[in-house]
Structure 1
Amino acid sequence: MSTSTSPTFLITAASGNIGKHLIPLLLSQPSNPSVVLPTSNAERLYSTLPSTADRSRINVVEGNIQDPEFVEQTLKTHSVTGVFLCLTGDNELFTTLNFFDAIKQSGCVKHVVYLSACGDFSIGAIQRGVLQDIGAAHVAIKFMAEAKLYHGVRPRSENGGFSWTIIAPTLFFSNDLRCKQALLDHSFFDEPLGSKGVSRVDTGDIALGVAKTLIDDGQRWGGKKVMIGSLERYTNQDVATLWSKALGKQIRAQMSDEVNLKTYEKESASKASAAWGRDLRLMYETFESQGFGMTEEEYQEQVKLLGKEPESYEKFVEDTAKEWSGPAVPSKS
């Protein structure tokens, strides 16, 4: 069991898009935190860690985070003081609520940073009818998780209580990487982002927000939800235009009408499952009907947390297109 006065953070999804940025950020902090990384495949996780990382402060623990006894024991064994919860999958509701209970039972965790999604998921918003247009299960579960944090967690001063911060990103830049073959081979951006526009976010900015709120330990950012992403919202046509310019050829955009969304659902189901195909279609229907983004006030709150403006989506597209194109071939004189 750790006897260090430095914080110890348990990080879920450590090898994911956010985790690969987050681990180096945490290990670089002057407070010298240790990290506990639960995983179902320790060998694979070790292979993703930076070669320069201080392995003495990294504890990789093999097990199933859907098992609350494993989670509780891991928290106790390593005297974990802070937790980053980045959860998804078919059992997200069970896993999230069981994780909250394991944190409570451990008695050592003081602060939790929960990854949610951009938007107002409050009781007031529900009463105003926001759920009428939310059908995607992986989005709807965030309402219950946030309600549990806001209304069902004891104060940190009480036994089993903890403080918390919600980090709420918009749509990842890196989602575009899944469209690579469609863009290069068929001049087609095949994600149906809709005509209302969606905010985009760099996973490095999400990781920065998570790192800062873990280190903050609930002092300034406790009890707050911080949106992370661009103020500008990009429609399907906006994104196609950006990729057209970056790749030097005309890119078509995926439409979000009923026929195209049903086709997208079938294609997604063939790659994952029927349940996830429907879930994604429902999410994109919401994008088409409502858009997806934040207010100016929420954007500025993000800037305060990050200490900078968020990364540029336009630059991501330009840089990615250059990377895909490879080095220029010098012309023969």
Structure 2
Amino acid sequence: MDKGPTYLLTAAAGNIGKRLVAVLLSLPSRPHVVLPTSNAARLGSLLSDALDKSRIHIVEGNIKDPNFVESTLKAHNVTGVSLCLTGDDELFTTTNFLDAIKHSETVKHVVYISACEDYSIDAISNGALHGQSAAHVLVKYLAEAKLRHGILPRQETGGFSWTILGPSLFFDNDLRSKQQILENAVFDVPLGERGVSRVDPGDIALAAANALEDDGKHWASKKVMIGSLQTYTANQVARLWSDALGRDVQPTLSDERGLGKFEIAFGKVAGPAWGRDLRLMYETFGERGFKMTETDYKVQIGLLGREPSSYENFVKLTAREWSRE
């Protein structure tokens, strides 16, 4: 076996994870990737046959179990972790995962996938939590604070360096609106009119891979926002889909009716708690937007090694694919 690094990735079947596996396996350092999953057979079936399976290690178990996580890290001598988590138990899972990393004493660098805003203690002191009520967003404040203020330095036993990535709203989220766009000519997400940055999950994967390979040399103790500098309102997104499809697509407004309708629809798919949680997130977007600064954008280019992908191109290409169906 070669002596390249070994990276553990959570959510390997997700929008970021499936891209990250491919990027990592293409690198000259020839890393091995460890993929914990609750269903090894399913994950294995989702991986492309073009990938070097000799460097992929699928481990079946529950990432909510810190003993499983710690034993997996030790067994594979994992040197870096890409931590991408969501779900009802996100806070428990994140903190237990970080503790398992500490006790493994093998991991030297962690890339944590957060979200595209300033979640620092200074930001909180300046009112960042005002109007912020979505649980899956609030947990990011705690996780980032733990990394910034509660982790031992890398040179100490149990310590590690870290990089935080702050992606904006995924391009791929629009795919969930396909039926509403095509059948009802409505973009059914209440993005509001303050403007929301958009991001290609492939760019997040590239940023994560580059941060793992950097191994704390340049990008340690930094948060890097990932996504477009340009922001998009509900009306602008509906207009993009209208132009791409050649038909009129109406936006969903960020008012009581629009937010309520979205909450009910999403709740039917993901449950009422998540319906409310996403509504609360979009309420915040409607009040203050979801964006990055020009400085954030330039820093991102440094990590990616290029400009981020175009949301407009994504809409055009996706509309073209839908039109062929």
Specify the TM-score bucket, using the shorter chain as the normaliser: over 0.9
Distance in structure 2 (CA, Å) of the matches to 1:264 and 1:205 = 28
Aligned with residue 121 of structure 2, among 120, 123, 148 = 123
Aligned with residue 162 of structure 1, among 160, 173, 180 = 160
Structure 1 segment 265-280 matched on structure 2, within 5 A: 265-280=263-278
- Residue by residue over 1:143-197, the C-alpha shift from the partner in whole angstroms, topping out at 9 and shown as x without a partner, is 0000000000000000000000001100000000000010110110001110101
Paired residue secondary structure (1:130): coil
Distance in structure 2 (CA, Å) of the matches to 1:114 and 1:283 = 20
Shift of 1:53: 1.0
Paired residue secondary structure (1:297): helix
**Unaligned regions of 5+ residues in structure 2, if any?**
none
Shift of 1:266: 1.7
Shift of 1:259: 2.3
Shift of 1:52: 1.3
Look up the match of 1:289: 287
Look up the match of 1:54: 52
What residue identity is the alignment partner of 2:324?
Answer: G
What residue identity is the alignment partner of 1:131?
Answer: L
Percent of paired sites with the same residue: 62
Distance in structure 1 (CA, Å) of the matches to 2:78 and 2:303 = 24
Paired residue secondary structure (2:30): coil
Structure 1 segment 53-72 matched on structure 2, within 5 A: 53-72=51-70
Distance in structure 1 (CA, Å) of the matches to 2:196 and 2:44 = 35
Distance in structure 2 (CA, Å) of the matches to 1:157 and 1:208 = 27
Look up the match of 2:8: 10
Aligned with residue 73 of structure 2, among 65, 72, 75 = 75
Distance in structure 1 (CA, Å) of the matches to 2:28 and 2:245 = 42
Distance in structure 2 (CA, Å) of the matches to 1:19 and 1:294 = 23
- Residue by residue over 1:229-252, the C-alpha shift from the partner in whole angstroms, topping out at 9 and shown as x without a partner, is 000000000000000000001100
Distance in structure 1 (CA, Å) of the matches to 2:152 and 2:222 = 16
Look up the match of 2:100: 102
**Unaligned regions of 5+ residues in structure 1, if any?**
328-333
Q: Over aligned residues, Cα RMSD in angstroms?
A: 0.9
Q: Between Structure 1 and Structure 2, whose CA radius of gyration is higher?
A: 1
Look up the match of 1:320: 318
Aligned with residue 219 of structure 1, among 217, 224, 230 = 217
Aligned with residue 111 of structure 1, among 87, 90, 109 = 109
Look up the match of 2:18: 20
Distance in structure 2 (CA, Å) of the matches to 1:267 and 1:61 = 35
What residue identity is the alignment partner of 2:236?
Answer: D
Distance in structure 1 (CA, Å) of the matches to 2:175 and 2:68 = 34
